[in-house]
Amino acid sequence: MNITAFLNYLSKTRGWAIDADYYGHIETWRQWWQGSVPKVHTRAAEYANGTKKRPIASLRMPKRVCEDWANLLLNDRTTFQIKDAATARYLLGDDEQQVGGLLRELHFWRNANALVEQAYWSGTGAFVLSAENLTVVKGKAVPGPDTRLKLDYDPASCILPLRVERGIVSEAAFVSECMMEGKPAVYLQTHTGNETRRTIRNEWFRVTDGVSGAPVFEALQAPPGTAESITVEGSPPWFALFSPAAVKNLDGGTGLGMSVFAEALSEAQGIDLAFDNYREDIRLGHKKIFYSADICRKVVDQDGVEHSIPPDDDVQSQFVTLPQKEGSLDQSSEYHEYNPDLRVEQNHKAVQDMLNLFSFKCGLGCHRYNFELGNVTTATEYNGSRQDLVASANKNQIPIEGSLVGIVRAILWAAKNLQGAAVDPETPISVDWDDSYVTDAETRMSQMRDDALSGLLPRYKYLSARYGVSEEDARKLAQEAADENKQPELSFGGGG
């Protein structure tokens, strides 16, 4: 979608002064994330039929680094701790792994993990709550039996901050592409108001090509059964934003963050240049044989031109030379081989050096991507040099936790006030993070086992973590083991 053109349209029709230039940065980050940046991933090359553009090989590390951040910060080991039992069951179900309840219906954890990746390439991610089959009376949303809650997960390219106070976005619009009646359209959802009264407005626009080729936007009526606007009272925001935990050093884009690799574009380009050189050395490194014309077969084509054909079939790797034979020991031989140097060691070092720099600039430490003898560095080997990663991960958890708690409170408010669910929106909520980036799972289990054997940790705690069972079941297992291992009491002598 041409977000700049749509922002210009909104500027003219609404008076919104949103910085369109900043979305140019976001588009550049998107191109790096996809692995194809114009004028960066192409190179002019001379061929027999003229100069052509050829693509430069890319390892696409910007995408990989965003995937890794998403897997570190929000994965299957991330859990909510919700004090109110009924609220916890509504959201999480009764399963110990928290894969039930409403969050399962929303495919929350999978989509939230994907949103972290989206936020880390684009600079900001948004959880956006909406409701379907909503009961609306005189523009106000009221409880109804058919109300269904939905979540959207938007990157920065879809987020339009409208009101920002002390760095917090309190009002925003969210834009996305859609199809209506088989034709391209734009959907705009606007959230305005405060904790006293909030209004959520839905709008659609048809997109057509103008005379100059620029897109033209035309307002459409809302689809049948869709509320154009609803008002809720006493609700928290129906959206929650988060960004990578780095202070933005780019001008503009108020309310938005910057990509996790925004400061590492030169290093990303260096990786691809080094990798492309490595690949080209291999591609051009096959054996080449030069033959004297004297030992070649002669063929005359239909135009009467004579050609010298080397004795083997692979003519692409064989060349004809015309040496001048001389009566000396240094005379040219009738053929000789040329085996280009693949420069494997130098190319490997160049790629590895650029990977180290890129990893460091993205907050993952210097040796996140360390390839030696075909093996990636193991977690245990990496423990001694991962302090940068630990500090960055702990720092990046802060904005994500605030966003997770914020959207869960919005969900609980809507569940209570629009669905009539027996939940407590004010119950204490916290997030338990996976800390395997500090120690690998086997090392952590070994430490827990030693602590349990030495009495520093209850044995049922170790059993629960080791076998993935509830603490209640782990207590039973520990007791059964203690009963079986108990020695029978022995008595000596007889009674008096």
| 183, 309: one domain | no
CA distance 440 to 478: 25
Q: Does 319 lie in the same domain as 194?
A: no
Last residue of a domain, one of 316, 339, 362: 339
Task: Output 251 or 371, whichever has higher pLDDT.
Answer: 251
Cβ(26)–Cβ(33) under 8 Å? no
Mean pLDDT across 313-333: 51
Are 91 and 80 within 8 A, CB to CB?
Answer: yes
**Pair (140, 245) in one structural domain:** yes
pLDDT tens column, 470-483: 788 888 888 888 88
Q: Enter the DSSP assignment of 463.
A: H
Kindly indicate the confidence band of residue 398, based on its pLDDT and cuts at 50, 70 and 90.
very high
Does 398 lie in the same domain as 314? no
Which segments within 181-324 are labelled E, that is strand?
Answer: 183-193, 197-209, 215-220, 229-233, 239-242, 288-292, 297-300, 306-309, 318-321
Instruction: Classify residue 272: in a domain, yes or no.
Output: no
* Helix, strand, coil shares, percent, the chain, to 5: 40, 25, 35
Residue 332 has a CB neighbour count (10 Å cut-off) of 14
DSSP conformation letters of 163-198: EEETTEEEEEEEEEEEEETTEEEEEEEEEEE-SSEE
Residue 252 shares a structural domain with residue 294:
no
- If asked whether residues 166 and 213 sit together in one domain, one would say yes
Same structural domain for residues 39 and 151?
yes
Asked if the structure places residue 93 within a domain, the reply is yes
* 75 or 239, higher pLDDT: 239
How many structural domains is the chain composed of?
3
In a domain, 232, yes or no: yes
- 378 pLDDT exceeds 70? no
Give the C-alpha distances (Å, rounded to integers) separating 409 from 115, 151, 356, 425. 19, 13, 40, 6
Let me know if residue 378 belongs to a domain: no
Max CA separation in the chain (angstroms): 130
Residue 328 banded pLDDT, cuts 50, 70, 90 = very low
Q: What is the pLDDT of residue 340?
A: 72
Position 314 scores a pLDDT of 53
Neighbours of 202 (CB within 10 A): 16
Residues 334, 395: one domain?
no
Q: Decide if 18 is inside a domain.
A: yes
Last residue of a domain, one of 275, 305, 339: 339
Band the pLDDT of 64: cuts 50, 70, 90: very high
- More confident call, 384 vs 237: 237
352 falls within a domain: no
Q: Is the pLDDT reported for residue 319 higher than 60?
A: no
Q: Are residues 102 and 153 in the same domain?
A: yes
Q: Residue 309: which pLDDT band, with cuts at 50, 70 and 90?
A: confident
Which residues, other chains included, contact 249 with Cβ-Cβ below 8 Å and sequence gap of 6+?
Answer: 258, 263
Q: What are 240's two structure tokens?
A: 């929650």
* Position 479 in a domain: yes
For residue 451, name the pLDDT band (cuts at 50, 70, 90): confident
Both 123 and 244 in one domain: the answer is yes
What is the pLDDT at residue 211? 73
- For residue 480, CA distances in Å to 455, 460, 470, 475, 489 come to 18, 11, 15, 9, 18
What confidence category does residue 247 fall into, taking pLDDT thresholds of 50, 70 and 90?
very high
190 is a domain residue: yes
* Residue 298 and residue 418 in one domain: no
pLDDT of 459 strictly over 90: no
Residues 416 and 473 in one domain: no
pLDDT tens readout for residues 330-368: 545 665 676 777 888 898 999 999 999 999 999 988 888
Most confident of 69-78, 140-149, 308-317, 411-420: 411-420
Model pLDDT, residue 93: 86
Range of the domain at 470: 441-483
pTM here is 0.79
